[in-house]
Amino acid sequence: MRPPKLRKYLSKLYVQVLIGIVAGIAVGHFYPDIGADLKPLGDLFIKLIRMALAPIIFASVVVGIARMNDLHEAGRVGVKALLYFEAASTVALLIGMVVVDTIKPGSGMNIDPAHIDSSAIASYAHAAHDHTTLGFLMSIVPNSIVGAFANGEILPIIFFSVLFAIALAKLGPRTAPLVDMLDMFLQGMFGIVRIVMYVAPIGAFGGMAFTIAKYGLGTLASFGELMLCLYATSILFVAVGLGLVMRVCGFSLWKYLRYIRDEILITFGTASTEAVLPQMLVKMEHLGCSRPVVGMVLPTGYTFNADGTAIYLTMAALFVAQAMNIHLTLLDQFVVLGVLLLTSKGSAGVAGAGFVALAATLASMHKIPVSGLVLLLGVDRFLNEARAVTNLIGNGVATIVVARWEGALDVDRARAILNRDPDFDAGDADTAHAAPESTGFGLSVGDPVAGTGRR
């Protein structure tokens, strides 16, 4: 029989996910044939989450805005969020440019563009043709809201949800029964996610086993310098950039990372921030951010605040240029940054979206051959893990920033939870014996979806 302490430790979700990741690496490395066949485990977990994602986003945005006392408040929150998103993305792009220019990971590869087989990136290059500024703006409005829900298109769903919520708010108190019904529906959707989270460790195991089996640890050695640059830059951005932002807000970055450690590990194992959006909605409200702010900022950040993707795009574009001995002036590099500020939008936390944005950037520049993306194919999956985790952390920080800016953050509650005050059941297993406290999203923070691992 397992000792009580060990049993309690193993019941924590982040421990189970970490075990799944380590086991996946071992199976993928020592039994690659088996590891390659485990991809459906990771894909199935992502599909289970995506199944509930569209209705969760719709209901959370509608309920949050419809219950605002003043529609000007919704507009104010949206503007503040976009201002922060642009500032954070610009800083991320600049940091990526400085690091890749300093270390020059692509120098010395001496790749001849004429000898590159670009057939492997044909699908990305084709998708990049539609990844223009005009195409992005047009994609905000869906051809059919049913189609947007069916395809899980986050930005069109948010657009429709905001319009629908404003319409309900203008109709006044008589819409309260419908809003209450949507709230109950949202609670049911989170119940589904709570069930799905039981298989999160299996999803992380399958995703990691497939990655190592297909690309091998040798790929890491071949592109080690680029990977080291990206991971180091991401850590630098989180520790220094986001750490400074959190300090200005009056909180500890480390305590915040500890608070969302389950979500960080799940994102790392699945390389997708979509997998943890429902938990993040619950956790950010439980932290003290107001429900309308959480419902608006967090889902929108998946499209407009991809800090990790911004870092990756800058470093990858300049890496390809260095590998092909293409000299870019400082002006050229700032032009790349300007283009990336536009093409980096529209990434919704899905693995591969950043690769399409990069193809669109290179295609619009006419200086760096799009065929150079072939150099990144083998290592892109490993790079995607770093940018997905950075995106996740950045979006949570953005929610705290906007809530604090708007005066919609319970500062005392947030500090107590981050300090693991037992009176607040902070969603951590260390407070597992405290009475579950119901969140506004209809879950108790003692549920797996809120990150306790308590079953």
The domain spans of the chain are: 4-450
Q: pLDDT value at position 354?
A: 63
What does the angle CA 15 – CA 20 – CA 23 come to, to the nearest 5 degrees? Answer: 125
Q: pLDDT value at position 254?
A: 93
What is the CATH architecture of 4-450? Orthogonal Bundle (1.10)
**Neighbouring C-beta atoms of residue 235, cutoff 10 Å:** 13
Residue numbers of the chain with a pLDDT score lower than 50 = 1, 117-118, 120-128, 348-351, 426-455
How far is Cα 72 from Cα 225, in angstroms, rounded to an integer? 49
290 DSSP 8-state letter: -
Q: Are 307 and 237 in contact (CB under 8 A)?
A: yes
Q: pLDDT value at position 245?
A: 93
Give 126-161 pLDDT, tens digit per residue.
Answer: 444 555 556 667 777 888 888 888 887 777 888 888
| CA dihedral of residues 175, 404, 254, 282 (deg, nearest 10) | 0
Q: Are 317 and 361 in contact (CB under 8 A)?
A: yes
Give 281-301 pLDDT, tens digit per residue.
Answer: 889 989 999 888 888 888 888
